[in-house]
Each structure stands twice: as structure tokens, then as C-alpha cells.
Amino acid sequence: MKALVYMGERSLEVQDLPAPEGAFVVRVRGCDICGTDLKTYLHGHPNFTPPCILGHEFIGNVERAPLESGFKPGDAVVVAPYGECGKCELCLRGAGELCRSKHHVSSGAFCELVEVPLDFVKEGVIKLDTLDDAYTLVEPLACVLTAMEKMRVTPKSNVLIAGGGPMGMLFALMLASEGVRVTISEPVETRRAQVIALGVNAVAPETVTASDYDNIVVAVNLPPLVEEYVKSVGDNGTVHVFAGLPGGTVLSLDAYAIHYRGVTVTGSSGFNLPAFHRAYEIIRQNPAHFRRLITHRFELENASEAFETLAEGKAFKVLVKP
């Protein structure tokens, strides 16, 4: 099979690799470039040692499946790249996203074929009515839904999202759908224009008065921003750390704000399977509403151009088609 292999910083190669031989295999039809993929491409990542295959936001068609799986070749599907075991203490406490015994698909999805473990098919594979690119956003939306479970948002909330990328935009779409006031803070003028064109209020960071907000989502990798917002968020507010910070990062937090003003700091990483299924149902109700976030599409052979286009800020969300 053809696969896009990450060879190191800013180095990608399309290679012919052995196809997976398992009983349940999906032919990938589209995989989005996520923020972690881009960060790995540009700077490397401790969790991805080259050579390896990146990509995890994908849809496809079933290539091979046993009868007892409930799927047949040709079925359109969206696949969770991983999922919790459902049995460990963390899973039983409702924190499946932190499970240490997750099921995983065979590789990243910037390739033609991905194998899904048979014992994960029931929970990790969802049959689609149609193979719509919008469903590549199920996984990132599931991450947003998992994060929102940890926030203290009410119908009266006023939410600030720091970072106008696709994840910030998904937060905004979900919060707005619940009638919550939401603003995105974004330093890059062209990105602010993209956000506004998608129907969400966006402002420059220097115009933000953090005390006007009771919930702030930090969706950018800036530790000083977390520290500043803990100091300045409104009373009884929540600061949610969504963007991944480097291992070993130490934050200096204002104890007065936490103790005397009731400020809460929360964080999340990844998704749990119930959130993945909810995300699918949300997108199924209005695929076009989410599909518009995908602004560029590239063939696998042109994936380096796809990554560079995203890195240069010329695209909002990029989909690669094997």
C-alpha cells in the first residue's frame, strides 16, 4: 500500500509498505491534518519517532470484514483512532480519555489501508449513510465535547477562546449552538477574517478584557497565557487548558485568584468513546455546517505541499486523500 511516512522535521516520503493483514481493514478515503500532525512535521514530537505514519482524523470504506462484525466491504465508515478499554479504574470513573489500556488502530491514517482490531470494531467504527468529508471532523469534535464536560458553562456564560484554529472554531460552533456568548481571540488578522467569515466573533488579543469572561479556553501552546488568564478571568471563572503544553512545563498560578475568587483550572487531552459517538450524531444533523471548515484538499502525493500550505496560514483545515 502507499503510505505517507514522516521521516523527520519537514520531511515526508510516499512509500510502498506491506498492507495490513488483519480481519477488519478500512481503505482510507480522507484524513485531515490536525494540529499535532503539523507540530510534529515542523518541530518533531516525543510521541512520534520517525519513520512513522501520522494522521488520525479519517473516514473510509470497509475493505475487508468478517460477517460477524456487522459490516461488509464497501460500507462507508468513520473510525476512532483509539478507544478506552471500558474496564479499568479510570474508565469506570468516567475518564475513558485517560485510559492506559486503549485499543488502537494499526497505524496513522495518511495511507491507503488501516486495520482495526476486531474487539474494537463494535465501539470504534461507525457506519455512515454517505462518505462525506465532514465526518473527518468527528474525532476533533469529540475532543472538544470531552473538554466541555470539564468546563462550567451555563446558558448565561460568556466564553473566550484563545486561538482561532480549527479546534477553537469547533469550540465556538458547539458553544454557540447552545446559545452561549462566545468570542475567539486570535492575533493573526487573516485567521480572524476566516473565523468571522464562518460566523463567529473574533478579536485581537490586545483588545480582550479577560474579566468579562467566566470561561476561557486556552487552545494555543502559550504557558504564559494560562498564567495570565488565571489572574484575570472573571470571579468564579474557569480556565481550561486545551492545547498541549510541553512535558515538564511549570506554571506559576495566582493562588489568590484560585482561593479568594473561586477560579478553577481544568484541562483535557483526547476524547472518550461516548463523546466520539455524540460528535458523529452532531455532524450527521448538519454535515455542511462542519464541512465548510475544510478549505483545502490534496492528494497523498502532494502531502508536503498540504502541510506547508497549512504551516503558512493559507488554509483553515486541510484534508489529504490517499
- pLDDT tens digit sequence for 4-48: 999 999 999 999 999 999 999 999 999 999 999 999 999 999 999
What fold does the segment set 150-267 form as a domain?
A: Rossmann fold (3.40.50)
Spatial separation of the C-alpha atoms in residues 246 and 223, rounded to whole Å = 9
The 8-class DSSP code of residue 276 comes to H
The model carries a pTM of: 0.97
257, containing H or E segment: helix 255-260
76, 130 Cβ separation under 8 angstroms: yes
Residue whose C-alpha is closest to residue 82's, from 17, 143, 144, 151: 143
Helices (H), 93-247: 118-124, 138-148, 166-177, 189-197, 223-232
Q: What is the pLDDT of residue 247?
A: 82
Q: Where are the domains of the chain?
A: 2-139+270-321, 150-267
pLDDT tens-digit series, residues 225-272:
999 999 999 999 999 999 988 888 999 999 999 999 999 999 999 999
| Amino acid (one-letter) located at 7 | M
Spatial separation of the C-alpha atoms in residues 263 and 256, rounded to whole Å = 9
Spatial separation of the C-alpha atoms in residues 306 and 118, rounded to whole Å = 33
Same fold, 2-139+270-321 and 150-267: no
Q: What kind of architecture, by CATH, is found in domain 2-139+270-321?
A: Alpha-Beta Complex (3.90)
pLDDT tens-digit series, residues 152-210:
999 999 999 999 999 999 999 999 999 999 999 999 999 999 999 999 999 999 999 99
Q: What is the pLDDT of residue 246?
A: 81
